[in-house]
Structure formats: structure tokens, C-alpha cells
Structure 1
Amino acid sequence: MLINMTGRNIDITESLREYVQGKFSKLERHFDQINNVHVVLNVEKLQQKAEAKINLNGAEIFAMSESTDMYAAIDALIDKLDRQVIKHKEKYTKH
């Protein structure tokens, strides 16, 4: 799984990068056919935004979350993506 990270108005530190990679490795446990992940971390005044686009075999999943804390925004993003990946996996196995 290849993770591309982009920061808008924020410098992506090594600890932030490791945190995101750790969270996405947990996501990979549910569905191992994740090809590419593009994560954008954005800061606008008091709001911290995290968004991600995941390329799967035959599908593309997008999610976005906002919070006052960047780590909380990443956690909420992973929760949203986890639900979407599980739903895609169920559809994929039914076909």
C-alpha cells in the first residue's frame, strides 16, 4: 500500500506521518487489496481537516473529517473509511 501525504498550511512532521501510516495499516487488515492512498491534511484557522482518497480494485473511496485537533480528525477519517471499506468488501465478496 502506497500512502501519499500532502499538507496544506501545515508541515507534515515525522510523528504525524507515522500516526497516519499506523492507522492505515489497521485499515489494511480489513481489506488487503488497497492499492493507493492519497491523504490531504489541511489547517484553516481553528479547523483541522483530514481527507483521503483510496483506490481499491474496481472502486475509489473518499472521506473527509474536521476537528479542532488534527489527530482527532485523522481518527474520525479512519472510522469513516473503515465503514466504507467493509461495505465495499461485502459487496465484492457477494459478486
Structure 2
Amino acid sequence: MSARIYQRPKNAMQSGKALLDHWILEFVPAEAKRPDPLMGWAGSGDTQQQVKLTFPSKDEAIAYAERYGISAVVHVTPPRRLKLQAYADNFR
């Protein structure tokens, strides 16, 4: 059973930064999704795909994975670079 640990990304559609400091442990799918023959919906028998755990820090997420024997890969979020620009820069 393997999982990935990552920090929640900022929503591009909103300017708010709520819940960006939370870390998420999400299990990697064990089997591919396949279409249901009757309805055509995509699904699989792997119920671990539905589990998404949130933690207040990266260290707590890693400690949880180690405690329960989950091999986890940590994806570090790249630092945000602000592009400060004045309105007058449009006319240079």
C-alpha cells in the first residue's frame, strides 16, 4: 500500500489562501478504473482511492504513514514567487 503526501494547492479561481497550510495523505490507486457496462460510469473495486486524510503539518503526515506501515512519497510544493507590478508598468 503506497501513498503520496502533498500540500493542498491554491485554487486558481479564487484569491483566498485558506487551508493551504494543510497536508494531505492520499493513497495511490491499486487498480485502473473501468467503465461500468450498464451505466458507463468509471469505477473500480479499490476503496482506498476514496480515502483522503488531512494533517496540520508534513511531519504529522509522515509520522502517520510510518506508524501504519504505509510507504509514502512526499511531494514538496515549490515556493511561490510573487510578480509585483504597478499599473504604470503597462505603459513602458
TM-score in terms of structure 1 length: 0.30
Between the two structures, name the one with larger relative contact order (CA 8 Å, sep ≥ 6). Answer: 2
> Which structure's residues are more often helix, by fraction?
1
> Which structure has the greater CA radius of gyration?
2
> Which structure's residues are more often strand, by fraction?
1
TM-score in terms of structure 2 length: 0.31
